[in-house]
Structure 1
């Protein structure tokens, strides 16, 4: 394998990973339009994923993985709780708004991660360094862009075909859009908390596949308990050979399994910063697929807000990259970067 191919493979891997994530946003809404309950969808997808991950968790790290303790299981359960909260929020947010808005909100994760890391003194600001200035300004810009996306829809830019709108909660379209945007932003907030807590968990228990398996397994249990309380209609749990079953398999295999493996491989080959740079590409993919398969309207407010969020995203990433370069001079530093790409 020549050098050009080695450089091209991580690029192609991240494009496929981002494409599967954008496809996930679209198929979630397709399933809900077909009448599938969003909470039941989470349960079935996570349960199937945990079954698929079980052999990997058993065979990989079999000889060198640390012993499972009650403390480790509690840590995995707490990580899963953040994941469950984020999953429920993003599914509800997509139902109320659009797949494009949900994709744009994912770019808030670095900004939220930076703010939470500051609160817990895991990040230190040095106003004399341009890296700290870039992270602060990028965080403010990203959050300003989120407010634009949520509170200003603006006139439509393009729309491929008409789509019958639907809402489980019968609010006005504008209120649904705002609530959906806030829920998707909440998913990014929980993802940021997940990243920060994951740093300490992986230091204590470095067997990554085992951690992922128990997270997905616990998410299936937690979301199942939540769904049993919220979903009163027994028929919502019925599965048939239709679009709903296809969506569950897509979520379990592509959106969780393939995307996670690709992102993990790309991080190992090219680093977390390289992978994070592809995050905004998901907005483009989601806009195109949302327009083709869902007939979603792409509004001026979404365009302006997404551009602002992406500018802030890159500012935070640039600041983090500059900071990491300065830390590389200290060979004894073993700090794990917080702003990694969401798997």
Structure 2
């Protein structure tokens, strides 16, 4: 295999490592007293500062006009992104990187359900691909409930005195919050698809998105946060986590994901997503979390459902590739997810 063929594989592995790293550093920062509001504010603000020069540099020759309707769309995405990130980080605070990473694999299934409801996808009950996506979605949801509600005996890990990942009494709350986050992420993907069809400038959209999330987090933090310590960037681990989150959360993952889609296609990209569960499990064990049967079995069930959804979607991608002559064909919903969905990753 030539080096040019190896690079996309390496890029996707690095992307998955970065995604799990986002969950781990956020967990570390919030374990020191930061809240989901203040952490999201700082990371989004840093992302905005990075995206200002980057977006205008890359789009300087052809920036589409900013009509008021586009700004409304950006603001709507900002509201959904605000809810998605705050609930996602709050769910992570109550659970662990492993549980959060596993449950986020529900996003393709939830997106399929919403796409059918909104008539973006046709539900052909006699179609094998539709049945695969339907069954895969149900299986993934069952796996998420297993991982959230069933603990079971210990499989891996020990319980150190200074562990930062163990909050068993709030495990179910964390899982349910992450499921809600996944559902909002699905709404976000579909809304983003509509906006990008009218305004095809991803980094400009991400700039306004990050700016909206920053403003909303600042407002809500000033209202609900009474502990000034949650705003402090000390200890050093908080600042490092924010820099990592701002850099890899928006800028890095959007660039790598879009590049790999152009090189290998959307199916290649989504096939790597469950790798994050394996990495998250290794990271959780390394940092002291006890892995129980419920988390392990639930994650496996989610992955099985995930691949069933992706298998069904791949069949439809191949079918639509044979009909490229029609300009009225709708874009597969997961295409939008892979091209322009960095914020799904908590």
TM-score scaled by structure 2? 0.93
Equivalent positions of 1:213-228 (< 5 A) are 213-228=207-222
CA contact (8 A) 2:156 2:290 kept: yes
Alpha-carbon offset, residue 186 of structure 1:
1.0
Equivalent positions of 1:30-41 (< 5 A) are 30-41=28-39
Please identify, of 155-164 and 310-319, the stretch whose mean Cα deviation from structure 2 is larger: 155-164
Q: Which residue of 1 aligns with 2:131?
A: 133
Distance 1:304 1:49 in 2: 36
Please identify, of 194-203 and 57-66, the stretch whose mean Cα deviation from structure 2 is larger: 57-66
Return closer, same or farther for 1:241/1:150 CA change in 2, 3 Å cut-off. Answer: closer
Unaligned runs of 5+ in 2: none
Q: Which residue of 1 aligns with 2:283?
A: 289
Runs of 4+ in 1 over 6 A off after TM superposition: none
Residue deviations 1:73-96, cap 9 Å, x none?
Answer: 110111111111110111111111
Distance 1:325 1:82 in 2: 32
Equivalent positions of 1:128-167 (< 5 A) are 128-160=126-158, 162-164=160-162
Distance 1:277 1:120 in 2: 26
Q: Which residue of 2 aligns with 1:12?
A: 10
CA contact (8 A) 2:120 2:330 kept: no
Return closer, same or farther for 1:337/1:163 CA change in 2, 3 Å cut-off. Answer: farther
Alpha-carbon offset, residue 164 of structure 1:
4.2
**1:197 maps to which of 191, 195, 202:** 191
Distance 2:131 2:234 in 1: 54
Name the SS of the counterpart of 2:155 in structure 1: strand
Name the SS of the counterpart of 2:255 in structure 1: helix
Alpha-carbon offset, residue 191 of structure 1:
0.8
**2:314 maps to which of 309, 321, 331:** 321
Equivalent positions of 1:294-313 (< 5 A) are 294-313=287-306
RMSD: 1.8
Name the SS of the counterpart of 2:2 in structure 1: helix
CA contact (8 A) 1:163 1:296 kept: no
Alpha-carbon offset, residue 36 of structure 1:
2.1
Name the SS of the counterpart of 1:123 in structure 2: coil
Name the SS of the counterpart of 2:122 in structure 1: coil
Distance 1:157 1:256 in 2: 34
**1:173 maps to which of 168, 173, 177:** 168
Give yes or no for the alignment of 1:42 onto 2:35. Answer: no
Number of aligned residue pairs? 336
CA contact (8 A) 1:13 1:262 kept: yes
Unaligned runs of 5+ in 1: none
Q: Which residue of 2 aligns with 1:22?
A: 20
Please identify, of 122-131 and 13-22, the stretch whose mean Cα deviation from structure 2 is larger: 122-131
